[in-house]
Amino acid sequence: MVASEATPFSKTGGLADVLGALPPALAARGEEVAVVLPRYRMVPLDGARCVRENMPLWIGPGRYTADIYSLERKGVTYYLVDAPEFFDRDGLYSSGGADYWDNFTRFAALCHAGLGVARHLFRPNIIHCHDWQAALLPVYLKQYFANDPTFTGVKTVFTIHNMGYQGIFGKDRLWWLGLPEWLFREDLLEFYGNINLLKGGIVYADYVTTVSPTYAREIQTPGHGFGLDGLLRARTAHLRGILNGVDYHDWSPERDHYITANYSASDLRGKEQCKMELLGIMGLPTDRPEVPVIGIVSRLAAQKGFDLIAPVAYDLVNWDIKMAILGSGEQQYERLFRALADARPDKFGVYIGFNNRLAHKIEAGADMFLMPSYYEPCGLNQMYSLRYGTLPIAHATGGLDDTIDGSTGFKFRPYSSDAMLGALREALTVYAVDRDRWRKMQVEAMRRDFSWAVSAAAYSDLYHMLAG
C-alpha cells in the first residue's frame, strides 16, 4: 500500500485510521503487507532501520534521492521514505493554512519511492494506492514500466477516501512530473484546463474502490461526483465500495479508558454516570438528567452539514434538549456554535478544538448523536455512536446510510433543515415516550459489528480476484 498518512505515524484524518488498521487486519488473514509512507518531521525513526540508502527518485527534470527506513508493526512492514527536502516540514500538506506549493512533486516522490520499494525491497502482486497523493503511481507504472519484467502481472487498486480532495494543479506541472504532454486529454489527466491527479488514479488503476457501497453509487452522480461522475460511470464495472471498519480496541464502552464508567449492552448503568460527567465537563446543568443530550464531534466543514442547523436554531433553542458539541474548522461554524452557547449556556455545551478524550466522553455520555453531513464517504463517528448505544440521527448518505437502519437510529432525506428536524423530533419522541423501544434500539445498535476483519476480508477477495 502507498499512502500519505497512517496511524500511529502521522494523521490528519480518517485516511490515517484506515492505513493504521487495514494492513494489520489483512496480515492477520495471512496476507503479506507492506505500507510505504512519507517520513514527515514528526515521525521518529526509533526502532526503524535503514534498508536502502540514496534510492534515486527521478521526477521530470529533478534528480532526488531518499533513504528508506523499515520497521515492523502488527505483522506489517512499514517503509518510511526519508527525503528531507520533501517531507521534513511542520505540516503534512500545508503550513499556516496554505498548501505547500510543491505538493505535486512531494507526492510524486512518494509514488516513485513506492515503485522503488516494489522493485528492490518488497515484491507485491497488488499495489494499493490511496487518495490523490498516491494516484500518480498507477500512472507512472503504466506509462513507464508497462514492459518492465519487475512489474509483470502487478495490478493496482486505487481507493478514494473523499471526492472532495482531488490534487488539482496547473497544466505546466505535467512536465515537472515527467509526464508527456499528450496525457493532457479529457479522458486522461485533463480537468477543466488543469491536471487532476485523483482523475489519473481513477483512469489508470486496474480497480477503483471507495469506502462505502452507497458512496460508490453516489459518486457516479453529478451531485456527488465533483466533476468526475462521468468518468466513474465509465469505470463502474471496476468500481466497488468497501465499508471501513472500526477499531473496537479503542472504541468500546466495555474497556474505554477515557470514560468515567464502563458499560455494555447487557448493563447500561455506567452510561448514566458518563452522561452526568459529560454535563459537568460541558458546563451544562445536571439537575434534570432525563433531558436528552445530543452529541456532535466533527470537523467543522461544509461537508458535515452544519448549514442545516442555523435556519432551525430557534427550534433547537426552544426544545427541551441539551447539546454537547466538539469540533474545529471553518470559522462560520465555530461562530454559529459559539453563538448558540452564548445564547443558552444551559443548553449548548461547546468546545472548539481537537480533543480525543472529550470525543470519547461525548460518545459515551450523550443519548443521541447528530451527523447531518451533506455527504459522508464512510464516517466513523456514527459507528462509534452505535457501539456506545448513542443513537445516531443522520442524513441518509454514503456510509451513514449503509451503517444505520430503522432499528439502530434515525435517518433523514432529503438534505434539508426540515427533514433533519423531523428525524430529531422522531428520536426525541421515542426517547421521551417509548423507553422500551429506545432501550431495544440501543442494544441492537451496540451489537452491530463493523470490525476491520469484515472489511479486510472484502479487500482480500478483491486482491485475489485481480491477481487471478
* Residue of 37, 68, 189, 326 interacting with ligand ADP (CB under 6 A): 326
Q: Nearest distance from residue 213's CB to ligand ADP, in Å?
A: 16
Q: Which long-range contacts (CB under 8 A, 24 or more apart) does 181-186 make?
A: 183/139, 183/143
Residue type for position 10 = S
Member of 124, 167, 270, 327 binding ligand ADP (CB under 6 A): 327
Shortest Cβ distance from residue 379 to ligand ADP (Å)? 4
Shortest distance in whole angstroms from residue 222 CB to ligand ADP = 22
Q: Is the dihedral of CA 450, 451, 454, 459 positive or negative?
A: positive
Contacts of 236 (CB under 8 A, 6+ apart): 220
What's the CA gap between 126 and 280, in Å, rounded? Answer: 51
Nearest approach, Cβ of residue 24 and ligand ADP (Å): 18
Indicate the helix (H) or strand (E) that contains 207. strand 207-210
69: helix, coil or strand? strand
Q: Could you give the 3-state DSSP secondary structure of residue 325? A: strand
Q: Report the Cα 365 to chain-centroid distance in Å.
A: 24
Single out the segment in contact with ligand ADP by CB under 6 A; choices: 139-147, 224-232, 281-289, 355-363. Answer: 355-363
3 binding ligand ADP? (CB under 6 A): no
* Region near ligand ADP per CB under 6 A, out of 128-136, 351-359, 425-433, 438-446: 351-359
| Residue 396 near residue 371 (C-beta atoms within 8 A) | no
Count residues binding ligand ADP (CB under 6 A). Answer: 16
Report the residue number, 255 or 440, with the smaller CB distance to ligand ADP: 255
Could you list the beta-strand ranges (E) of 258-399. Answer: 293-300, 322-329, 348-352, 368-371, 391-395
Q: Which of 297, 325, 420, 456 binds ligand ADP (CB under 6 A)?
A: 297
**How near is the Cβ of 450 to ligand ADP at its closest, in Å?**
12
Q: Which of residues 376-405 bind ligand ADP (CB under 6 A)?
A: 378-381
Does position 354 bind ligand ADP by CB under 6 A? yes
143, 328, 416, 460: which one binds ligand ADP (CB under 6 A): 328
Binding span for ligand ADP by CB under 6 A among 71-79, 278-286, 309-317, 375-383: 375-383
- Which of 175/354 has CB closer to ligand ADP? 354
**Does the footprint of ligand ADP cover residue 298 (CB under 6 A)?**
yes
State in angstroms the smallest separation of the CB of 388 from ligand ADP: 12
Shortest Å, Cβ 459 to ligand ADP: 18
Q: Residue 295, interface with ligand ADP (CB under 6 A)? A: no
3-state SS, residue 466: helix
365 belongs to the binding site for ligand ADP (CB under 6 A)? no
- Smallest distance from the beta carbon of 363 to ligand ADP, in angstroms? 8
Sequence-distant contacts of 73-77: CB under 8 A, at least 24 apart: 73/24, 74/23, 74/24, 74/27, 75/24, 75/27, 75/28, 75/33, 76/23, 76/24, 76/26, 76/27, 76/33, 76/34, 76/35, 77/33, 77/34, 77/35, 77/122
Cβ nearer to ligand ADP, comparing 58 with 258: 258
In 3D, which of 200, 176, 174 has the Cα closest to residue 186?
200
Q: What is the CA radius of gyration of the chain?
A: 23
Instruction: Record the cell numbers describing residue 330, joined without a space.
Output: 471553518
Contact 317, 379 (CB under 8 A): no
What is the C-alpha to C-alpha distance for residues 190 and 183, in angstroms, rounded to an integer? Answer: 7
Cβ closest to ligand ADP, residue 201 vs residue 327:
327
Residue with the CB atom nearest ligand ADP in the bound state: 14
Contact region with ligand ADP (CB under 6 A), list: 2-10, 48-56, 136-144, 348-356: 348-356
Among 25, 35, 316, 359, binds ligand ADP (CB under 6 A): 359
Among 4, 9, 14, 216, binds ligand ADP (CB under 6 A): 14
Chain contacts with ligand ADP (rule: CB under 6 A)? 13-14, 297-299, 326-328, 354-356, 359, 378-381
